[in-house]
Amino acid sequence: MDFIVSQLVNGLVYGVLLFLMSAGLSLIFGLMNVVNIAHGSFFMLGAFFGLSIQQWTGSFWLALLIAPIPAIVIGLAMERVFIRPLYARGHLDQVLLTFGFTFVFVDAVRWVWGPEVRTLPTPAMLDGAVEFLGVVLPRYRIFIIAFGLLVALLLWAFLERSRIGAMVRAGVDDAFTAAGLGINVPLLFALIFGLGVGLAAVGGVVAGPVLGLYPGLDIDILIPAFIVVVIGGMGSLRGALVGSLFVGLVDTFGKAYFPGAALFVVYLLMVVVLLTRPQGLFGVGKT
């Protein structure tokens, strides 16, 4: 029982981190039809910015608050200067651009912070463990889960309940018609790109004390996020959440119960979804 509960917590932690990645990935794709291959880079950048801010100020909370800002600035600059001029040329070129940036970012991180594995210290307030139903659980992991679910709730409220959220949904359904109705679609693109990048960076900071920080973290988090988006369906926030938790839990329990086949379990899940529902569980079905 102890084992199951602690694995459950680990799975949810991983799932929530994947959600912070895949929510942005999925929204950006849904709206702009672009997959941001550099999305993992922003996760990594967020984590490293967080590390530096934590070292200067000694506060994890300041790091969590401030680290996404430079990441968002870089993301917005990337969207404005590089991606936007290529809208007329189709999505392939934009994807290739973001791909080029992964090389730049990973070497920039190696240059600035060095190649070794670092960790962000757990904030003192969340150090230690709590006992829950007779199971000892690290406080910080509980915090990650709560934080992630809170972010999911806020995102949902933003998209479903706010005026801008309605515009975003209109853009996801049909950007062309949305523009015809007077919605400033390029501004919307920038907003969602910034939001997605910011979420990834926040994810990086939150993940800091749990995962190690190293150049290469970008791809290690990007690939499972891709799998999440394929399973959950592109362009769907609900798909991103369900897919993330699903992948997080399946991966964690797979590793616990079938260590030999752990690598395949998630892929097997993906293959089953692909064979039965190629557009993903909650996909909107556009290609």
Among 19, 140, 193, 226, binds other proteins (CB under 8 A): 226
257 makes contact with other proteins (CB under 8 A):
no
133 makes contact with other proteins (CB under 8 A):
no
Nearer to other proteins, 193 or 226 (CB): 226
22 makes contact with other proteins (CB under 8 A):
no
Nearer to other proteins, 159 or 219 (CB): 219
150 makes contact with other proteins (CB under 8 A):
no
23 makes contact with other proteins (CB under 8 A):
no
Q: How many chain residues interact with other proteins (CB under 8 A)? A: 42
Among 80, 91, 139, 238, binds other proteins (CB under 8 A): 91
Minimum separation from the CB atom of position 14 to other proteins (A): 16
284 makes contact with other proteins (CB under 8 A):
no
What would the DSSP string read from start to end of the chain?
-HHHHHHHHHHHHHHHHHHHHHHHHHHHHHHHS---TTHHHHHHHHHHHHHHHHHHH--HHHHHHHTHHHHHHHHHHHIIIIIGGGGGG-HHHHHHHHHHHHHHHHHHHHHHH-SS-B-PPPPGGG-SEEEETTEEEEHHHHHHHHHHHHHHHHHHHHHHHSHHHHHHHHHHH-HHHHHHTT--HHHHHHHHHHHHHHHHHHHHHHHTTTS-B-TTHHHHHHHHHHHHHHHH-TT-HHHHHHHHHHHHHHHHHHHHH-GGGHHHHHHHHHHHHHHH-TT-TT-----
Among 223, 257, 258, 285, binds other proteins (CB under 8 A): 223
Residues between 177 and 216 that touch other proteins (CB under 8 A): none
65 makes contact with other proteins (CB under 8 A):
no
234 makes contact with other proteins (CB under 8 A):
yes
Q: Alpha-carbon distance 100 to 90, whole Å?
A: 16
Minimum separation from the CB atom of position 280 to other proteins (A): 8
Q: Alpha-carbon distance 139 to 146, whole Å?
A: 11
265 makes contact with other proteins (CB under 8 A):
no
80 makes contact with other proteins (CB under 8 A):
no
Interface residue list for other proteins (CB under 8 A): 29, 33-35, 82, 85-86, 89-93, 95-97, 99-104, 106-108, 110-111, 219, 223, 226-227, 229-230, 234, 263-264, 267, 270-271, 274-275, 278, 287
